[in-house]
Chains A and B, each alone.
Chain A
Amino acid sequence: MTETPIVEFRNLGKEFSGTRVLRGVELKFERGEVHGLLGENGAGKSTLIKILTGVYSHSEGEIIVEGKPVTISSPMDAHKLGLGAVYQDAELIGSFTVAQNVVLGGEPGRFTLNRKAIRDQGAKILKEIGLTLDPDRIASSLSAAESQLVILATLFQRKYKLIVLDEPTARLSATEAELLFRLIRRFQEEGITIIYISHRLGEIRQLCDRITILRGGRVSATLAGADITEERVTELMVDKTKNELEVFNPGLARPEGMLQVDQLSCDQLSPLSFEVHAGEVLGITGPVGGGMELVARAVAGLVPHHGQIKIAGQTTDLSSPSKALEAGIALIPEDRRKQALFPNMSAAENIALPVLSRLSRGGFISDRAKLTYAEQVIKRLQVKPDVPGKAMKFFSGGNQQKAVIGKWMSAKCRVYIFVEPTSGVDVGAIRDIYEIMLGLARDGAAVILISSSMREIMALSENVIVIRDGKAIYRAPKAKCTHDQLLGISMTGRVA
């Protein structure tokens, strides 16, 4: 590989309001290689990709595309340079056919629309990359997996040089994944570079020519071929230097049971039973999209599910989010911007939302009571800046997260479910959030922590379940687990 690399990072760094998330990244992506990108949550993977695709701009260093330094200041710039990404919530024009989507933007002809030519061209591209899909199917009828494959076809049609795939198999069945791998190899033959982000070591060994492991915002190592072993990868991923920063759960569980889940199952999740005592923190981990998120969605009433759920011994109906809330279940979702916050409303209004009836007098909300209440919560959770009247969107990720937690704190919930509570949270706030979570357990709530970060799981939980491919493959008290062992189980699916 002596050609000029397709993309090269030189001394790349990124800083978010004083916090360094990437530093001194030196990385080359060669033409036609599949390059794996690994790292724990917060290691800087997604920041690196967002810089490459123009979502963020970098703070320092250079990006060189095919030998020429470039500035990528918007997603459009990245697309013009032939750099694209397929995200999990893939986007297509729902009312168009598969062929129309594939050809979109590159239709033959000047003014008139030749539907037959579009169909033929779309069908030809599908055939060329070996995708057996009916070109006349309407895009809105495709499954998530099929949409992903069609998006890949559109990128192929537009002659992309580099494509980022972020956890592409998270929602795919085995056969669909196999189809995706074939597609990736086909792209490789065409000289297209693939950056492959995944936590599944099996796939990575099967596909990638080289892998780069990020740790704490730096390149930990780049490995090739036979050097990619489980031991090496775990060793390189784990950041040993940060251990002293961590909080530790000394064991807060009380004897009385709080949440009892019996044979809970939904689409993509095999029946699962577990129990969480009052004051206990249960950690659920596994690869992204492997089913751990579904536990939260099912218990919070967001997806249809089977099985019995008892709270404090009482069978509870959790068929909708409002029923789950009535039963005392609070969900702190991962995507707080979309699912938990009202960005244009003030911090006080966000925080006071679930307890408004308590702050009302004669049916009218007392502004003063609302403000006093919000001030209390803000002080208790150390939300910064402590300005209750400021619109939520102007707070940093970490403080937004605190506000989401604050929202539920005095709603006196009995079960708190946290999904990736520190993703996108600035380092300074992580410790505060951990302390708040342990505080909830100390007050006797049952806490479920769903996280792909082993550090988080090890720091906070008392018991651990690993879910992969929709099944609980490992469960043990935290005392019997080690960080590397859990990471190994999650990545390979094998219990040593």
Chain B
Amino acid sequence: MAATSTETKTAAVAAKPAVGGTESLGLRLLRRWGTIAIIVLVGVGFSVSSPWFFTVSNFNNILFSMIVSCLVSMGLTYVVIAGSFDLSIGLTVTTASIVTAYLIPVVGPWVAILGALASAVVVGLLNGLLVTYGRLSGIVVTLGMMFVLGGLNIFLTNGYQIAVPYTEKAFLFIGQGTIGPVAVPVIVLLCVFVLAHLLATKTKVGHYITAVGDNPMAAFYSGIKVYHWVILSFILSSLLSGVGGVILTSISTSAQPSGNSNYLLEAFAAVFLGATTLGKGKPHVLGTLLGVFFLYMVSAGMSMMGFPFAMRQLFIGLVLILAVGANALLNREEIHLKFI
């Protein structure tokens, strides 16, 4: 009798959103390769306009100049995947650099490096603990940490740079040495990239951090230790900034107490630009690497062609908004009510 009543239902089944198979090939290609096409086109443009652009030595220069920024950006990628923000990365580079330069004469270069990385980890751990157990917002905590580190850096150095003795040949090799035609720090960068990429894509660490960032409630109910993964993402972010700080010290044979603020902004630009590559729509380590490359390539190319610095800033800003905007158009949500 009543059991058959459900069969009388005539209302339409909820329309399934068109994802995957149903959309046109062009749209799919655009989503996957759109940003990369822009990067390549800009590169081709530079190569045509300047005979020095498409050369090994120029690319070597670009790679070399983007090393620290790249490390910082890859670290930030983890935090953004986990659904938070880290504004303290730029100054973590400075702090790690100062700690390295300070400790080298005292304990030797290798322990000094460990000390610098450990101090970076402490910064990340504090950020992570405050954001999770402390129930504070990531923006506020890391903004505060940024000011604290900024003050600490000046306090530790009295505002003067700390030089690394020229006798520390082994330490300076990290930043200034070459193996064949390739600079050692470029090799370090590639190694860190491979590790970071594998960690993000082939281990439970990346899997769970992604899950937590996507839907923390569902992750919580799946028995995932949400807080631990958020804290780990902050530690990874600081740690990679710390590695950047060590390399920076070696490259410049000194630690500068200030002047590393551009890393933070470059990192955010790179992460969000990278998120639009390969159709992922969210940050990933490889995309971030491409993002940083784009920023530095534009800088190098435009300065070769004689554009002033202001033009470069303008161009990068426009490309960032365009790429992210186009990506948002391709992945339209029903109602857009999130403004972070």
Contact B215 A92 (CB under 8 A): yes
Contact B211 A104 (CB under 8 A): yes
- Tally of chain B residues near chain A (CB < 8 A): 39
Contact of B11 among A178, A269, A494 (CB under 8 A): A269
Contact A112 B6 (CB under 8 A): no
Contact B223 A105 (CB under 8 A): yes
Say yes or no for B17: interface residue by CB 8 A criterion: yes
Q: A115–B134 Cα gap in the complex (Å)?
A: 34
Contact B204 A93 (CB under 8 A): no
- Least CB distance, A24 to chain B, in whole angstroms: 31
Contact B2 A201 (CB under 8 A): yes
- Least CB distance, B328 to chain A, in whole angstroms: 15
Say yes or no for A270: interface residue by CB 8 A criterion: yes
Report the nearest B residue to A134, measured CB to CB.
B20
Interface string of B159-173 (1 = CB under 8 A from A): 000000000000000
Q: A132–B46 Cα gap in the complex (Å)?
A: 52
Interface string of B199-211 (1 = CB under 8 A from A): 0011111110011
Report the nearest B residue to A115, measured CB to CB.
B202
Asked whether A144 and B207 contact (CB < 8 A) given A91-B218, A138-B19, A493-B2, the answer is: no
Say yes or no for B310: interface residue by CB 8 A criterion: no
Say yes or no for B129: interface residue by CB 8 A criterion: no
Say yes or no for B56: interface residue by CB 8 A criterion: no
Contact A171 B4 (CB under 8 A): no
Known: A91-B217, A112-B202, A469-B8; 10 extra A-B contacts, CB below 8 A, are A94-B215, A96-B211, A104-B219, A104-B222, A111-B205, A158-B223, A174-B6, A202-B5, A493-B8, A494-B2
Contact B2 A93 (CB under 8 A): no
Contact A177 B214 (CB under 8 A): no
Say yes or no for B221: interface residue by CB 8 A criterion: yes
Contact A140 B5 (CB under 8 A): no
Contact B10 A113 (CB under 8 A): no
Contact A267 B210 (CB under 8 A): no
Contact B221 A203 (CB under 8 A): no
Say yes or no for B332: interface residue by CB 8 A criterion: no
Say yes or no for B126: interface residue by CB 8 A criterion: no
Interface string of B221-258 (1 = CB under 8 A from A): 11110000000000000000000000000000000000
- What are 15 A-B contacts defined by CB distance under 8 Å? A92-B218, A93-B214, A93-B215, A104-B218, A105-B223, A112-B203, A142-B16, A174-B7, A176-B13, A202-B3, A202-B6, A205-B3, A206-B3, A469-B8, A470-B11
Contact A145 B207 (CB under 8 A): no
Total cross-chain contacts (CB, 8 A): 128
Say yes or no for A141: interface residue by CB 8 A criterion: yes
Say yes or no for A471: interface residue by CB 8 A criterion: yes
Say yes or no for B12: interface residue by CB 8 A criterion: yes
Q: Which residues of B contact A (CB under 8 A)?
A: 1-17, 19-20, 201-207, 210-211, 214-215, 217-224, 282
Interface string of A128-142 (1 = CB under 8 A from B): 000000000110111
A-side contacts of B223, CB under 8 Å:
79, 105-106, 158
Contact B5 A494 (CB under 8 A): yes
Q: A76–B227 Cα gap in the complex (Å)?
A: 14
Interface string of A162-202 (1 = CB under 8 A from B): 00000001010110111000000000000000000000111
Q: A76–B223 Cα gap in the complex (Å)?
A: 8
Contact of B204 among A111, A140, A142, A493 (CB under 8 A): A111
- Least CB distance, A291 to chain B, in whole angstroms: 7
Contact of A202 among B4, B220, B282 (CB under 8 A): B4
Q: Which residues of A contact B (CB under 8 A)?
A: 75-76, 79, 84, 91-96, 100-101, 104-107, 109, 111-113, 137-138, 140-145, 154, 158, 169, 171, 173-174, 176-178, 200-203, 205-206, 230, 267-270, 291, 469-471, 492-494
A-side contacts of B2, CB under 8 Å:
201-202, 205, 230, 492-494
A-side contacts of B201, CB under 8 Å:
113
Q: A75–B15 Cα gap in the complex (Å)?
A: 32
A-side contacts of B3, CB under 8 Å:
202-203, 205-206
Report the nearest A residue to B224, measured CB to CB.
A105
Contact A268 B5 (CB under 8 A): no
- Least CB distance, B236 to chain A, in whole angstroms: 15
Q: A89–B211 Cα gap in the complex (Å)?
A: 18
Asked whether A111 and B203 contact (CB < 8 A) given A92-B218, A145-B14, the answer is: yes
Contact of A173 among B11, B207, B217, B219 (CB under 8 A): B11
Report the nearest A residue to B218, measured CB to CB.
A91
Closest 3 CB pairs of A and B: A470-B11, A202-B2, A105-B222
Contact A104 B202 (CB under 8 A): no
Contact A95 B282 (CB under 8 A): yes
- Least CB distance, A362 to chain B, in whole angstroms: 29
- Least CB distance, A273 to chain B, in whole angstroms: 17
* Residue in B1, B203, B218 whose Cβ sees the most chain A Cβ within 10 Å: B218
Q: A142–B19 Cα gap in the complex (Å)?
A: 10
Contact A113 B16 (CB under 8 A): no
Q: A334–B208 Cα gap in the complex (Å)?
A: 35
Contact B221 A268 (CB under 8 A): no
- Least CB distance, A169 to chain B, in whole angstroms: 7
Asked whether A174 and B204 contact (CB < 8 A) given A93-B211, A154-B222, the answer is: no
Q: A178–B11 Cα gap in the complex (Å)?
A: 16
Report the nearest B residue to A171, measured CB to CB.
B14
Asked whether A141 and B4 contact (CB < 8 A) given A113-B204, A270-B10, the answer is: no
Contact B211 A200 (CB under 8 A): no
Contact B206 A469 (CB under 8 A): no
Contact A203 B6 (CB under 8 A): yes
- Least CB distance, A25 to chain B, in whole angstroms: 26
Report the nearest B residue to A468, measured CB to CB.
B5
Contact A91 B7 (CB under 8 A): no
Q: A493–B202 Cα gap in the complex (Å)?
A: 53
B-side contacts of A105, CB under 8 Å:
222-224
Report the nearest B residue to A137, measured CB to CB.
B20
B-side contacts of A92, CB under 8 Å:
215, 218
Report the nearest B residue to A80, measured CB to CB.
B223
Contact B16 A140 (CB under 8 A): no
Contact B206 A113 (CB under 8 A): yes
- Least CB distance, B15 to chain A, in whole angstroms: 7
Report the nearest A residue to B215, measured CB to CB.
A93
Q: A230–B4 Cα gap in the complex (Å)?
A: 15
B-side contacts of A492, CB under 8 Å:
1-2, 5
Asked whether A470 and B222 contact (CB < 8 A) given A138-B19, A230-B2, the answer is: no
Asked whether A143 and B14 contact (CB < 8 A) given A201-B2, A494-B5, the answer is: yes
Q: A205–B1 Cα gap in the complex (Å)?
A: 10
Report the nearest B residue to A91, measured CB to CB.
B218
Q: A484–B99 Cα gap in the complex (Å)?
A: 79
Contact B11 A113 (CB under 8 A): no
